[in-house]
Amino acid sequence: MTIMGMSPEDLSSIFKTVSAVLLFGNMQFKQERNSDQATLPDNTVAQKVAHLLGVPVTEMTKAFLKPRIKVGREHVSKAQTKEQVEFAVEALAKSLYEKLFRWLVIRINKSLDRTKRQGASFIGILDIAGFEIFELNSFEQLCINYTNEKLQQLFNHTMFILEQEEYQREGIEWKFIDFGLDLQPTIDLIEK
């Protein structure tokens, strides 16, 4: 990633954010016995997450367990249920990861900008016809496109490569079908 022009501080922030996102899933909330209110009996994981994100642990847990909401002209703290807290934590983790992913795509695209050096290599990901093309793709869309590429590669390999090898073994005459670009190297790159 240093080749892409990322500083040690950038790398540290990336790893801290990814670590925090992963740790969010380890936070264990409980439901109080006499109420619907959620609690966090052990904040060990929350302390790690807060440290990684550079926020005070008490403020972070308070924002999850008793967020401030506007009622009329005033702001009040409202206790959340276990389900509400878990939803908020999941939403924050997803949002952080998506924002990091978008930032990475922008940085990588900027460092690979071909206008500066024509003829440079590039990685292309084909979106199968019929799927939506967005102005800005999310991590989820990359996963969808990646899966589609794997399926298309499997189809091409089965229908074209293996069938044509079978024709060759059996001595059947046919006109070679070129199905286009083999994207296996791109798939392999994403999988690494």
The C-alpha atoms of residue 12 and residue 107 are separated, in whole angstroms, by 15
pLDDT tens-digit readout, 95-126:
999 999 999 988 888 877 766 555 556 566 65
Low-confidence ranges of the chain (pLDDT < 70): 114-133
In this prediction, residue 42 carries a pLDDT of 93
pLDDT at 103: 92
The Cα–Cα gap between 108 and 2 comes to 11
pLDDT score at 81: 94
Q: Domain spans of the chain?
A: 2-111, 139-191
> Is residue 93 a contact partner of residue 24, using CB atoms and an 8 Å limit?
yes
**Neighbour-count burial of 63, counting CB atoms closer than 10 A to its CB (0-12 exposed, 13-18 middle, 19+ buried):** middle
Instruction: Quote the pLDDT of residue 24.
Output: 96
**pLDDT (0 to 100) of residue 39:** 93
pTM of the model: 0.61
- pLDDT value at position 130? 44
In this prediction, residue 156 carries a pLDDT of 80
CATH superfamily of 2-111: Myosin VI head, motor domain, U50 subdomain (1.20.120.720)
CA distances from residue 3 to 7, 106, 184 in whole angstroms, order as listed: 10, 15, 24
Q: Return the pLDDT at 105.
A: 86
185/126 Cα distance (integer angstroms) = 13
Residue 122: predicted pLDDT: 59
